[in-house]
Structures are given as C-alpha cells and as structure tokens.
Amino acid sequence: MCENETEVIDGKVAFELYDTFGFPFDLTRLMITEAGREVDEKGFRGGIAETKREISCRY
C-alpha cells in the first residue's frame, strides 16, 4: 500500500460487531479513523439492509 492510500476496513466486519455484540457503528468508525484507516459505511448499511430483508421474509 502506498503512503498516501488509506486502508479501508470492510463494512461487513463493522456490521458483524454491531449485529453480534451490539457494538455501535459510530464508535467503530471513530476507533478506525483514529488508527488512520477508514470503514466502508456503505458495506455496513448493506449488512443492515440484508438482515432486514431476511427477517421480513421469515414473517
């Protein structure tokens, strides 16, 4: 990775933290940005949407 590139953490990882442990996305994003990285918010939101679709299909 070049020095001017920022590593992006997969939003699915952030979603798993939220879904499994209730770890807030805002706190995840804060910690990741403090470490000089970014988190894929679009991927996180996609995880939420996918879970909502799965739940709605069950009922």
Residue 2 falls inside a structural domain: no
In a domain, 52, yes or no: yes
Helices 11-21 and 41-58, interaxial angle, to 10°? 50
How far is the C-alpha of 24 from the C-alpha of 3, rounded, in Å?
Answer: 29
What pLDDT shows up at residue 6?
Answer: 81
38 has which bridge partners? 8
Render pLDDT for 22-39 as a digit per residue (tens, 0 to 9): 999 999 999 999 999 999
Is the Cβ–Cβ distance between 48 and 15 less than 8 Å? yes
Tell me the residue range of the domain where 42 lies. 8-58
Phi, then psi, of 6 in degrees rounded to 5: -105, 130
Q: What global pTM score does this model have?
A: 0.81
When divided into structural domains, the chain yields a total of: 1
Q: What is the pLDDT of residue 58?
A: 80
Within-domain flag for 32: yes
Cα distance between residue 29 and residue 6, in whole Å: 14
1 is a domain residue: no
Does 54 map to a domain?
yes
Note whether residue 39 is domain-resident. yes
